[in-house]
Amino acid sequence: MSDLPFGFGPPGEGDDDGPGGPGAPQDPFAALFGAGGTQDIGAALQQLGRLLSNPGPGPVNWDLARDVARQAVAAAGDASVSAADARAVEDAVRLAEVWLDPVTALPAGTSGAVAWSRAEWVEGTLASWRRLVDPVAETVVTATTTAVPEEMRAMAGPMLGMVRQLGGAMFGTQVGQALGLLAGEVVGAADVGLPLGPAERAVLLPANVAAFGAGLGVPADEVRLYLALRECAHQRLFAHVSWLPAALFGAVEDYARGISVDTARIEEVMQSIDPQRPEAIQEALASGLFEPHDTPEQQVALSRLETLLALVEGWVDAVVTDAAGALPSAVALRETVRRARATGGPAEQTFATLVGLELRPRRLRDAAELWAQLRLARGVDGRDAVWEHPDLLPTADDLDDPQSFVARTPLDLSALESAGEAPPEPPAATDPPT
């Protein structure tokens, strides 16, 4: 698990490995002021004038993020979706829903299918990324600009205003770089286990589906169908487990609320700054003065999010395994997906950069095994009834001992009522479970 949230990282570490690609800025403030803090404000503004010309509202410059992502997609190549590809996606989704019906109690969650180009994926998921990134970015930027002692604000005010503006630009640049890379490799709208795409629409990217299947020796229609099964299984969860989307996004928001900076150090450093040397403020910013720190609240939120994502992905894996039993290439395709996860695919890298969370493939396999055991012992209805309320879900400890969880799980929720216990009411969608 990374120690730093989105946009922050130790200087010189991870620049070539993250989803932003080579040279992606890891610390917005260091990127502005330089490693040694020797750039003056005039030079910084001259260098980044374009970024500052249209900052936009909020903590992230989303217009810039969109532009950077679209430019990255165009540079890598992005053919328009042909009519034949669109029909193939529609056919695959239609068949996937038929194959899923007998293996899950959750009804279809899609009313149609869309085939997207990479640029269309950027546009179609940007609102969801904004919902994910803004809480973290807002907390970081606000913390850095309000932690300065009151008596120092008059002197530092212009500088801090510029820091906020540049922070939005730097966040926007890094978000755009990450999305541009991710758009080149995702195969649908649910690759990160989150509801990123349009409601009730299964999404596949034909170009990326073809790239996924290249070299596997598997017919293209089988690859497309298998990936459509995964996309549609995700959509069933998101559509019919009403509390789930709010819980996933709420865990990120809880993480953001836990972000803190060392205000004591800020006060100490700012009090020592000579008002006659404005560049001293610049040097303090470049030194990592406002670097955020992990808190116990963040650890709790990340642990809950990690477990919930593992349960989502494990359920999808188990359900698709059951549905794809007649597909000759099912085992090979399943292992290809799992290997991509195990080697740290783009979804994991982007999410790690976003909220400091690294998805552990071992948990995903454990979750898939738990759901499979639960189906064998309780049937499809008994397995899927566990999604009725978050309090019924397995915990991280249950992933270590799935047999104990299965043993104490009733066949369905009616067992709770026969024992004199009413099933708990699900929380409102705007009130994520804790």
Residues sharing a CB contact under 8 Å with residue 116, sequence separation 6 or more, in sequence order: 81, 124, 203, 204, 205
Q: How far apart are CA 147 and CA 140, in angstroms?
A: 11
In this structure, are 86 and 221 located in the same domain? yes
pLDDT value at position 402?
93
How remote is the C-alpha of 310 from its chain's centroid? Answer: 13
Q: Mean pLDDT over residues 218-244, rounded? A: 96
What is the pLDDT averaged over residues 292-306? 78
Mean predicted confidence (pLDDT) in 184-196: 89
Is the residue at 127 inside a domain? yes
Which domain covers residue 265, as residue numbers?
28-362
Looking at residue 36, its pLDDT comes to 41
Are residues 241 and 351 both part of a single domain? yes
Q: Let me know if residue 319 belongs to a domain.
A: yes
pLDDT number for residue 170: 76
Is 61 domain-assigned?
yes
The pTM of the full predicted model, rounded to 2 decimals, is 0.77
Residue 321: CB atoms within 10 Å = 17
**What pLDDT is recorded for position 276?**
63
Question: Letter for the amino acid at 241?
Answer: V
Q: Are residues 287 and 408 in the same domain?
A: no
In a domain, 428, yes or no: no
Question: What's the pLDDT score for residue 419?
Answer: 41
pLDDT, one tens digit per residue, over 33-79 is 333 444 444 544 444 454 555 555 678 889 999 999 999 999 999 99
Tell me: do 349 and 377 sit in the same domain.
no
**How confident is the model over 397-434, as pLDDT tens digits?**
999 999 999 998 876 544 444 444 444 443 343 343 33
Domain termination site, one of 326, 343, 362:
362
Q: How many domains does the chain have?
A: 2
CA distance 325 to 29: 52
* 304 assigned to some structural domain: yes
In the block, tokens 């810039």 appear at: 64
Is pLDDT above 60 for 364?
yes
Residues 178 and 91 in one domain: yes
Token readout for 17 is 């490995």
Same domain, 372 and 253: no
Residues 322 and 349 in one domain: yes
Same domain, yes or no: 296 and 402:
no
Same domain, residue pair 199 and 311: yes
Q: Confidence class of residue 18 from pLDDT cuts 50, 70 and 90?
A: very low
